[in-house]
């Protein structure tokens, strides 16, 4: 293929989770004959890496595509939505091309296509290529697996990302080595259900972590969400390692036993609480996911959940009001909680976590911070507990690792002057 004199400009719009951030970077890495722009107005082609986790996420993506259509852009539709809405958007000529997860590594040749295309691909694929750089980022995302074997009643993800399958260990290690040679010190392991890593390849997430921690230049390893039932002995063996972040995000989704059954979850309140207390006693800051307002969440269930929730030493919360996702079991259940009540329940949880997080930070231990960016008058980044810090300094601190002993704890974050 001969190289065009002026390369067409491509803008990537990423919706959704960290796995999508990784997938976008993978596509960028595969583009040889196009220029990536961060200004969508000047782009010739807009690649939409979509999220389809709720009906709301779908509408956000659709609105964005409509805007691009109005602006006369050539739109390529990628990501999880390719499986659920790719055909429909393609047939309605809202998008020029559709590329499913397994096709993203072929993006360079697909973007040359003069004919509209729809390559949804298969759900058994694992990326062959690796991401060796993240432009303008201080941390690197590493996708260690794809797919999920759970069947939570509200979730569409297994239908769009397929069954759980682990990335080859050597490939992951090679990628981390390359990125650390390129100056990255913080690595964030991502995937659809990372706790299932190794179940199909006769290893475990714990064993992988030990190997990553031994690589020169790896200063900190963070992880996406893990299921409580996946925290096994091999994982626990890593808990005292200095390179493991002192923050774990463990997805509870609810703290009422009956609700967890309705949601078809595999975790249970009693064991969850034991696990959280054990991790808390080791000094970890703990985060969780929580869905409020799922069908069946009666007042009685909610009061029990709230009482249980207060017993958990949780400092970080990713909670949201249940939003119906067509094609899931929950979508066929009668919605019993109105939006207003769900929001007020959400606020109750958020208020508890704000207090817990503030109290946790007031312990004032020494912080190890990776500064990510400059925002207004401050440099900002996260410490080992995944708390944000704002730093005043005359020096340029972006992408630097710093240790901070002296700082002020405020409601919205920690503050320090260097």
Write out the residues near ligand SF4 by the rule CB under 6 A. Answer: 148, 150-152, 155, 157-158, 192-193, 227
Taking the least distance from each CB to ligand SF4, the nearer of 150 and 312 is 150
For residue 253, the minimal CB distance to ligand SF4 (Å) is 7
Given a contact cutoff of 8 angstroms between Cβ atoms, the answer to whether 166 and 47 are in contact is: no
Residue 206 and residue 175: Cα distance in Å, rounded?
A: 18
Tell me the HSE value of 363 on the side-chain side, using a 13 A CA sphere.
13
DSSP three-state, residue 85: helix
Taking the least distance from each CB to ligand SF4, the nearer of 200 and 237 is 200
For residue 9, the minimal CB distance to ligand SF4 (Å) is 34
| Gap between the terminal Cα atoms of the chain | 53
For residue 335, the minimal CB distance to ligand SF4 (Å) is 19
For residue 251, the minimal CB distance to ligand SF4 (Å) is 7
Alpha-carbon distances, residue 95 vs 85, 112, 117, 202 (angstroms): 11, 15, 9, 41
Q: Which tokens is 69 given?
A: 């259509």
Taking the least distance from each CB to ligand SF4, the nearer of 10 and 252 is 252
Taking the least distance from each CB to ligand SF4, the nearer of 47 and 262 is 262
In the block, residue with structure tokens 């397929």: 162
Taking the least distance from each CB to ligand SF4, the nearer of 143 and 246 is 143
For residue 267, the minimal CB distance to ligand SF4 (Å) is 10
Question: CA torsion sign, 183 to 187 to 188 to 190?
Answer: positive
Taking the least distance from each CB to ligand SF4, the nearer of 83 and 380 is 83
Residue 203 has φ and ψ, to the nearest 5°, of -140, -165
Taking the least distance from each CB to ligand SF4, the nearer of 151 and 168 is 151
Taking the least distance from each CB to ligand SF4, the nearer of 150 and 284 is 150
For residue 70, the minimal CB distance to ligand SF4 (Å) is 34
CB under 8 A, 24+ apart: contacts of 275-281: 275/228, 275/231, 275/250, 276/250, 276/312, 276/313, 276/314, 277/313, 279/239, 279/248, 279/250, 280/313
Helix ranges, 248-293 (H): 257-262, 269-281
Given a contact cutoff of 8 angstroms between Cβ atoms, the answer to whether 388 and 382 are in contact is: yes
For residue 236, the minimal CB distance to ligand SF4 (Å) is 20
For residue 166, the minimal CB distance to ligand SF4 (Å) is 15
Taking the least distance from each CB to ligand SF4, the nearer of 74 and 294 is 294
Counting every residue written for the chain, the total comes to: 418
CA-angle at 365, arms to 360 and 370, nearest 5°: 95
Residue 40 has φ and ψ, to the nearest 5°, of -65, -25
For residue 328, the minimal CB distance to ligand SF4 (Å) is 9
């Amino acid at each position: 293929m001969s190289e065009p004199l002026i390369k067409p400009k491509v803008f990537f719009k990423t919706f959704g989770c960290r796995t999508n951030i990784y997938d976008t970077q993978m596509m960028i890495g595969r583009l040889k004959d196009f220029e990536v722009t961060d200004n969508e107005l000047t782009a010739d082609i807009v690649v939409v890496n979509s999220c389809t986790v709720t009906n709301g996420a779908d509408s956000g993506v659709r609105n964005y595509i409509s805007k691009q259509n109005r602006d006369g852009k050539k739109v390529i539709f990628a990501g999880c939505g390719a499986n659920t809405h790719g055909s429909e958007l393609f047939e309605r000529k809202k998008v020029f091309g559709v590329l499913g997860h397994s096709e993203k590594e072929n993006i360079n040749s697909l973007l040359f296509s003069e004919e509209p295309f729809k390559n949804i691909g298969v759900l058994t694929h694992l990326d062959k290529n690796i991401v060796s750089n993240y432009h303008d980022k201080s941390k690197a995302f590493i996708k260690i697996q794809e797919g999920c074997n759970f069947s939570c009643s509200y979730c569409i993800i297994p239908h769009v990302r397929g069954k759980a399958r682990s990335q080859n260990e050597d490939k992951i290690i090679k990628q981390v080595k390359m990125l650390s040679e390129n100056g990255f010190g913080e690595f964030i392991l991502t995937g659809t259900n990372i706790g299932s890593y190794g179940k199909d390849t006769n290893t475990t997430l714990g064993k992988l972590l030990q190997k990553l921690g031994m690589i020169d230049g790896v200063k900190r390893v963070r992880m996406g969400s893990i299921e409580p039932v996946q925290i096994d002995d091999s994982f626990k063996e890593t808990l005292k390692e200095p390179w493991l972040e002192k923050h774990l995000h463990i997805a509870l989704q609810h703290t009422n036993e009956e609700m967890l059954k309705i949601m078809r979850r595999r975790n249970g309140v009693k064991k969850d609480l034991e696990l959280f207390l054990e991790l808390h006693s080791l000094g970890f800051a703990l985060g969780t996911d929580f869905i409020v307002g799922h069908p069946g969440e009666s007042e009685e269930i909610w009061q029990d959940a709230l009482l249980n929730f207060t017993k958990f030493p949780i400092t970080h919360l990713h909670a949201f009001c249940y939003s119906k996702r067509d094609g899931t079991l929950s979508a066929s259940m009668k919605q019993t909680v109105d939006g207003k009540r769900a929001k007020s329940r959400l606020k109750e949880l958020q208020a508890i976590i704000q207090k817990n997080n503030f109290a946790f930070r007031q312990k004032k231990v020494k912080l190890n911070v990776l500064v990510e960016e400059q925002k207004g008058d401050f440099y900002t980044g996260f410490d080992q507990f995944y708390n944000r810090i704002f730093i005043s300094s005359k020096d340029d601190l972006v992408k630097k690792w710093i240790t901070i002993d002296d700082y002020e704890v405020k409601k919205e974050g920690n503050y320090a002057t260097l």
